[in-house]
């Protein structure tokens, strides 16, 4: 472990080595850390007593002199589960996930974010209780909750900050209310709750699932609003207070007379989001009120919806030319209600026309792999990485008295 003496290598760091696959036997841990056999054994014993580590099958022989195969060490991904939810403007999705990200039970339904945090989070607590029962788990087995919301989040506090499409949520204690909601409906003790922007968590989930080797990854979600998530070096880039990626509120000339839900005129979201396309369709007599309505029309091949989606893609592509030039990502993923062929075609038309050839020479422009589950997977992964970070492992082990 570079920069530290062997004696400083903690039980949490040993667990990280096992979880990452860098060292999965006692001998390998000794080699990587420089710890003695006895010290490795003592620190592993704490992890075994906590239930976070287990022995697997025999692995390779550690000694060059031969002998019996070494017993491999494995992270015990069955000792707990994670809850995750993804809130949209009028719809939500919730799930129980394993510690490796497998969805064990899932539910989606109507939840109107404009109803405010109290009823919405209370209802999520009821959904979680039902899902746990369906998955065959109890509230006491939950180690944490991840929540995706359609607004900017100060991740230090878990509170949304001036969210344009979440009236009544600004500064609200989401963490505390959701933890209480789970307790109310399951009787379990409160657990950590992590809150982040939905595009951030979608980007995190998609990056881990399909593009883990991409050092700069950008996901753009185009639904009722427009937002982007950026993953650099395997971590979500949020800016200094959670505002990174809010490209829906970049001003564009074409929208000078278009009023955005944030109260300003000229925002990209006011002219190119699913909500903007829905409004233009409604003005022509086509029944559409949200990005999800537009998605259904696109799936049916509705000609006017197809044309407007392509036009919206061109407007977003124009803005993304600057994003791509600034960040030089390897993957640009389009997700959300409008993430189909017409919109993607429009994005590509303007992106490749406006961006420097060098910026796009090694760029893959793709659509979502995880679909509507991306934010759930990202939220679950965020919770696991938070709880099993080496420094937090030490805190939790002390709290358990092991």
Q: How many domains does the chain have?
A: 3
User: What is the per-residue pLDDT across 256-296, written as a single tens digit (0 to 9) for each?
Assistant: 889 998 889 999 999 999 999 999 999 999 999 888 899 99
Average pLDDT over residues 96-106: 97
Of 29, 48, 75, the residue at which a domain comes to its end is 75
The boundaries of the domain holding residue 311 are 210-373
Quick one: pLDDT band at residue 366, thresholds 50, 70, 90? Answer: very high
DSSP per position, 262-293 = TS-BSBHHHHHSHHHHHHHHHHTT----SHHH
Residue 1 lies in a domain: no
- Rounded distance between C-alpha atoms, residue 125 and residue 81, angstroms: 15
Does residue 46 share a domain with residue 105?
no
Residue 205 lies in a domain: no
Of 44, 75, 106, the residue at which a domain comes to its end is 75
Residue 7 has pLDDT above 70, yes or no: no
Residue 6: the pLDDT is: 55
Does residue 386 share a domain with residue 251?
no
Residue 122 lies in a domain: yes
**Inter-CA distances, 366 with 216, 253, 348, 384, Å:** 14, 27, 10, 27
CB distance 68 to 62 below 8 Å = no
Does residue 337 share a domain with residue 282?
yes
- For the chain, helix (H) and strand (E) counts, in that order, are 14, 14
Residue 90: the pLDDT is: 87
Does residue 246 share a domain with residue 183?
no
Q: H/E element holding 14?
A: helix 11-20
Q: Which residue has the higher pLDDT, 255 or 328?
A: 328
Average pLDDT over residues 145-167: 92
Does residue 56 share a domain with residue 32?
yes
Does residue 362 share a domain with residue 245?
yes
Does residue 155 share a domain with residue 136?
yes
CB distance 324 to 219 below 8 Å = no
- Rounded distance between C-alpha atoms, residue 28 and residue 45, angstroms: 16
CB distance 334 to 374 below 8 Å = no
- Residue at token pair 């909500």: 275
Does residue 60 share a domain with residue 43?
yes
Residue 224: the pLDDT is: 85
**Inter-CA distances, 327 with 285, 331, 375, Å:** 41, 11, 22
Average pLDDT over residues 184-198: 96
Does residue 313 share a domain with residue 267?
yes
Does residue 356 share a domain with residue 221?
yes
Residue 32 lies in a domain: yes
Q: Please give the distance of CA 164 from its chain centroid, rounded to a whole number.
A: 20
Of 75, 109, 136, the residue at which a domain comes to its end is 75
DSSP state of 6: G
Residue 257 lies in a domain: yes
SS3 at position 113: helix
Residue 8: the pLDDT is: 79
Does residue 91 share a domain with residue 39?
no
Q: Which of 10, 9, 5 is nearest to 397 (CA)?
A: 10
Residue 345: CATH number of its domain: 3.30.420.40
- Rounded distance between C-alpha atoms, residue 199 and residue 190, angstroms: 26
User: What is the per-residue pLDDT across 287-329, written as a single tens digit (0 to 9) for each?
Assistant: 998 888 999 999 999 999 999 999 999 999 999 999 999 999 9
- Rounded distance between C-alpha atoms, residue 303 and residue 280, angstroms: 13
Residue 24: CATH number of its domain: 1.10.10.10
SS3 at position 184: helix
- Rounded distance between C-alpha atoms, residue 225 and residue 248, angstroms: 7
Q: Which of 192, 189, 215, 203 is nearest to 83 (CA)?
A: 192
Residue 148 lies in a domain: yes
Does residue 230 share a domain with residue 87?
no
pTM beyond 0.95, yes or no: no
Residue 57 lies in a domain: yes
Residue 181 lies in a domain: yes
- Rounded distance between C-alpha atoms, residue 340 and residue 206, angstroms: 17
- Residue 309, token pair as written in the block: 């989606």
């Amino acid at each position: 472990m570079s920069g530290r003496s062997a004696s400083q290598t903690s039980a949490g760091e040993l667990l990280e080595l096992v979880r990452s696959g860098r060292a999965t036997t006692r001998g390998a841990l000794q080699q990587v850390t420089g710890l003695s056999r006895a010290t490795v054994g003592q620190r592993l014993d704490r992890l075994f007593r906590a239930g976070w580590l287990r022995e697997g099958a025999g692995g390779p022989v550690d000694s060059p002199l031969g002998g019996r195969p070494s017993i491999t060490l494995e992270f015990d991904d069955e000792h707990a589960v994670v809850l995750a939810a993804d809130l949209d403007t009028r719809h939500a999705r919730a799930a129980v996930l394993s510690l490796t990200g497998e969805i064990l039970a899932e539910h989606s339904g109507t939840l109107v974010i404009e109803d405010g945090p109290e009823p919405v989070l209370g209802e999520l607590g009821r959904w979680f209780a039902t899902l746990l029962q369906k998955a065959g788990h109890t509230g006491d087995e939950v180690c944490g909750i991840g929540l995706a919301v359609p607004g900017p989040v100060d991740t230090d506090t878990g509170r949304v900050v001036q969210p344009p499409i979440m009236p009544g949520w600004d500064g609200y204690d989401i963490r505390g209310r959701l933890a209480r909601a789970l307790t109310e409906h399951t009787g379990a003790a409160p657990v950590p709750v992590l809150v982040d922007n939905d595009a951030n968590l979608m980007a995190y989930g998609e990056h881990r699932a399909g593009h883990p080797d991409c050092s700069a990854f950008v996901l753009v979600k185009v639904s009722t609003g427009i937002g982007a998530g950026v993953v650099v070096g395997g971590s979500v880039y949020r800016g200094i207070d959670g505002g990174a990626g809010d490209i829906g509120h970049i001003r564009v000339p074409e929208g000078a007379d278009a009023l955005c839900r944030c109260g300003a005129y000229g925002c990209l979201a006011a002219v190119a989001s699913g909500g903007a396309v829905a409004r233009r369709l409604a003005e022509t007599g086509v029944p559409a009120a949200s990005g999800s309505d537009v998605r259904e029309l696109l799936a049916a091949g509705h000609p006017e919806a197809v044309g407007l989606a392509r036009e919206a893609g061109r407007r977003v592509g124009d803005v993304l030319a600057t994003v791509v030039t600034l960040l030089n990502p390897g993957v640009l993923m389009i997700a959300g209600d409008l993430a189909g062929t017409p919109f993607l075609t429009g994005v590509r038309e303007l992106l490749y026309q406006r961006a420097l050839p060098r910026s796009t020479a090694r760029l893959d422009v793709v659509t979502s792999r995880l679909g509507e589950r991306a934010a759930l997977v990202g939220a679950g992964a965020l919770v696991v990485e938070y709880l099993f970070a080496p420094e937090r492992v030490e805190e939790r082990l002390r709290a358990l008295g092991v």
